[in-house]
Chain A
Amino acid sequence: MGLGLLVVIWLITLIGSYFIIAKTWWLPVGASAAAAGIDHHFTLTFILMGGVFIAAQLGLGWFVWKYRDRGAGSQPAHYSHGNTTLETVWTILTIILFIGLNLASESIWATERFEAAKPGSVQVEVTGMQFAWYFRYPGPDGKFGATKPELEDASLGGAGALGLDTTDPAAKDDVITGTMVVPVNREIEVILRSHDVIHSFFVPAMRFKQDAVPGLAIHMHFTPIQTGDFEIACAELCGLGHYKMHGIVKVVSEPEFNQWLAAREAEKQ
């Protein structure tokens, strides 16, 4: 029975670790400025925690086999109530490991979340509603027009769905789209809103996730460093259509972005 436990625990540990070391399933290639730092810390955590995991499981398997009851007359168990020195050393090591690992990652967190987007970044308001994402650009005036909950009508789509107050002069040049188009290598300021329930704006390639909460306008930022189409999915259960609350971030060059935005403005005239 001890040997069975040893074999099964070791096999589970080795097979389980294999898929991680081989990166059979892994994070998608990072496409934002923050991705490299986050991925690096992810790998560091994997190495440290993976080491503890493998050592503990292999140790467990080894001990249950080695110290199995070998029948009457064999060596009795060792009478010991523990070892305070070992206990203290282990405790200090784990404090250093856990707290140190945590502190090592906090500077990335601070860059991502303590600091606001820099002036001159591209502003996009992202609004979640059951079950779609809408993206709004402030237009040449740099100001978002007012929205009013009583004007919201999802069936209208676009400005109607957002409840845009068309009498507000700032609203005249607002551009509203169903795809998020952004320029590469520019910081994007995301202003996240939700109309109805909590949604969560998740773009794995950008290593970006933030809940959109009714009643709050949450300001976040990221910098795409690679052009292409990147998928968005809602990461917070928001109703029956949650699984299809899907979208695309289209990262293009800056001239293409300006051209695209100008074309949307022209359509409005």
Chain B
Amino acid sequence: MGADLWIISIAIFCLGALMGALNFITTTLDMRAKGMTLMRMPLTCWAWFVTAILGLLAFGVLLSAGILLLMDRNLGTSFFVPLGTVNGVLTGHKGGSPLLWQHLFWFFGHPEVYIAILPAMGLCSQLLSVFSRKPIFGYKAMVYAILAIGFLGFMVWGHHMFMSGMSPYSAFAFSIMTMGIGVPSAIKTFNWLGTLWRGKIRFSSPMLFAIGFVSLFVVGGISGPFLAQPVLDIYLHETYFVIAHFHLIMGVASIFGIFAATYYWFPKMFGRMMNEPLAKTHFWLTFIGAYAIFMPMHYYGMAGGLRRYSQGTEVGWINQLWPIQRFISIAAFVTIAAQFIFVFNLFWSMKKGKKAVDNPWEATTLEWTTATPPPHDNFGGLTPVVYNGPYEYSVPGAPRDYVMQTDAPVTARH
């Protein structure tokens, strides 16, 4: 009963995600301001657009898988359950395949990790440009990289299943595609560093989290090519090396995106600034804390430490590694405690924060052209007209070090 309710709730979630995805796609394609060509869109919007396409294609599969699972549980079908016993009792099913479930789940599950990370990639790209006072390095390459990640993201689900009993030949194909997805990811990292290079960096709290994001994306990404190779996955599969990898990249890096975005757009949403000293304290504790939690997991996994062990007493080599678990637990408690600084800052600043001006970060995109907080329909009935790309900072000859998207067209080109 509980499991059925859980499956139904996931199915409802899928429906919601599908509707949301359609909304984002149609809004992006049909409702852009005059002059806002696709190649003038902020990378945040590009990332959300591709994320929505992934959501549209992936959640439908999870919904179908959930319906099949409900039928197996309640209507006597056998999509996923083969002939066999549980606790010595025949299950009453025959002919189904547990691998089919894994395929359906990961066909959704892998695009899902890009659904989690792409928005953070987009908005951190944007913040790096804003706070470096420099145009983003390789805007077009960034857009193509987002598209490539979205496209390849659908062809790599089998890398979760190298040890599952799936054909080893398909493992070969999935592995090549997975290594291929490292290429657009590397392009993005290169461009983030390129954006910082020769910039004039302002260390406001959103920027700290964006820089933290880059660092975490690198450390989380670099373990990907280990796990993408089936030969190394033989040993590393289901160890903490995997936990370290995906928590850093799709977990903590994405969450850094959420923090960066919250500190950045909070003034526009609530008309007040968040408290900077508290935000910086939150950053340092979370950044160091995240590394303290997840770096040791690499070592634990390399020594063969398995995930999902409630006790380390039975397996000799895991028992020896248990002190690492203790260290990780302490680091996790401290890091979790630090999040209350953020929660406090969030609510306190809504009421008591310093009043925000319309464009506190001196940024160029449309949301900063309107009042803070924005009026009904965001622009008070006056839809802005766009003349410039989203990242025109430090344009030679311009009166300020930033040119809004709605300002007169920039002629300087480099």
Q: Which residues of A contact B (CB under 8 A)?
A: 1-2, 4-5, 8-9, 12, 16, 19-20, 24-28, 38, 41-42, 45, 49-50, 52-53, 56-57, 59-60, 63-64, 67-70, 74-84, 86-87, 90-91, 94-95, 98-99, 101-102, 105-106, 108-109, 112-114, 130, 149-150, 152-155, 194-198, 200, 202, 204, 207-211, 213-216, 218, 231, 233, 235-237, 240, 242-244, 246
Q: Distance (Å) between the CB of A6 and the closest chain B CB?
A: 11
Scan B49-89; emit 1 where CB is below 8 A from any A CB, else 0.
Answer: 00000000000000000000000000000000111111110
Show 17 residue pairs from A and B whose CB-CB distance is below 8 angstroms, ordered by the A residue.
A28-B304, A41-B232, A60-B218, A67-B199, A77-B393, A77-B401, A80-B414, A82-B141, A86-B190, A90-B186, A98-B183, A149-B85, A155-B88, A197-B86, A202-B306, A213-B99, A213-B165
The closest CB in chain A to the CB of B301 belongs to: A25
Q: Is the CB of A154 within 8 A of B82?
A: no
Q: Is the CB of A80 within 8 A of B83?
A: no
A25-B321, A69-B200 known; A9 vs B215 contact (CB < 8 Å): yes
Q: Is the CB of A82 within 8 A of B312?
A: no
How many Å lie between the Cα of A87 and that of B357 in the bound state? Answer: 38
Q: Distance (Å) between the CB of B131 and the closest chain A CB?
A: 9
The closest CB in chain A to the CB of B214 belongs to: A60
Scan B287-321; emit 1 where CB is below 8 A from any A CB, else 0.
Answer: 11001000100111011101111111111111001
CB-defined contacts of A25 to chain B, threshold 8 Å: 299-300, 302-303, 321, 324
Q: Which 7 A-B pairs have the closest CB atoms?
A: A215-B82, A113-B168, A82-B138, A78-B198, A1-B203, A25-B299, A77-B394
CB-defined contacts of A16 to chain B, threshold 8 Å: 219, 291, 295, 298
Q: Is the CB of B199 within 8 A of A52?
A: no
Q: Is the CB of B414 within 8 A of A60?
A: no
Q: Is the CB of A45 within 8 A of B229?
A: yes
Q: List the one stretch of B90-98, B251-259, B347-355 in contact with chain A.
A: B90-98
Q: Distance (Å) between the CB of B22 and the closest chain A CB?
A: 33
CB-defined contacts of B299 to chain A, threshold 8 Å: 19-20, 24-25
Q: Is the CB of B238 within 8 A of A60?
A: no
User: Which B residues from 272 to 299 make CB contacts under 8 A with A?
Assistant: 280, 284, 287-288, 291, 295, 298-299
Q: List the one stretch of B26-34, B106-114, B220-228, B338-346 in contact with chain A.
A: B220-228
The closest CB in chain A to the CB of B137 belongs to: A82
How many Å lie between the Cα of A155 and that of B203 in the bound state? Answer: 65
A27-B304, A215-B97 known; A204 vs B132 contact (CB < 8 Å): no
A53-B222, A87-B190, A149-B85 known; A12 vs B96 contact (CB < 8 Å): no
- Residue among A108, A149, A152, A204 making CB contact with B231, cutoff 8 Å: A108
CB-defined contacts of B86 to chain A, threshold 8 Å: 130, 195-197
Q: Which residues of B contact A (CB under 8 A)?
A: 81-88, 90, 96-99, 132-141, 163-165, 168-169, 171-172, 175-176, 179-180, 182-183, 186-187, 189-191, 193-194, 196-203, 208, 211, 214-215, 218-219, 222-223, 225-226, 228-232, 234-235, 237-239, 280, 284, 287-288, 291, 295, 298-300, 302-304, 306-318, 321, 324, 393-396, 401, 412-414
A67-B132, A114-B169, A213-B164 known; A243 vs B395 contact (CB < 8 Å): no
Q: Is the CB of A60 within 8 A of B315?
A: no
Q: Is the CB of B141 within 8 A of A98?
A: no
How many Å lie between the Cα of A67 and that of B193 in the bound state? Answer: 11
CB-defined contacts of A64 to chain B, threshold 8 Å: 196, 201, 203, 211
CB-defined contacts of A196 to chain B, threshold 8 Å: 84-87
Q: Which of A25, A75, A87, A149 has the most CB of B within 10 A?
A: A25
- Residue among B88, B136, B215 making CB contact with A152, cutoff 8 Å: B88
CB-defined contacts of A95 to chain B, threshold 8 Å: 180, 183
- Residue among A76, A102, A215 making CB contact with B175, cutoff 8 Å: A102
Q: Is the CB of A150 within 8 A of B99?
A: no
CB-defined contacts of B309 to chain A, threshold 8 Å: 242-243
Q: Which of A42, A213, A214 has the most CB of B within 10 A?
A: A214
Q: Is the CB of B182 within 8 A of A202?
A: no
A59-B193, A76-B401, A79-B414 known; A45 vs B82 contact (CB < 8 Å): no
CB-defined contacts of B414 to chain A, threshold 8 Å: 79-81
CB-defined contacts of B172 to chain A, threshold 8 Å: 106, 109
A25-B303, A196-B87 known; A53 vs B219 contact (CB < 8 Å): yes
Q: Is the CB of A112 within 8 A of B310?
A: no
Q: Is the CB of B200 within 8 A of A214?
A: no
Q: Is the CB of A243 within 8 A of B314?
A: yes
Q: Is the CB of A99 within 8 A of B179?
A: yes
A211-B164, A213-B165 known; A77 vs B132 contact (CB < 8 Å): yes
How many Å lie between the Cα of A87 and that of B195 in the bound state? Answer: 13
A87-B190, A95-B183, A130-B87 known; A235 vs B312 contact (CB < 8 Å): no
Q: Is the CB of B237 within 8 A of A12?
A: no
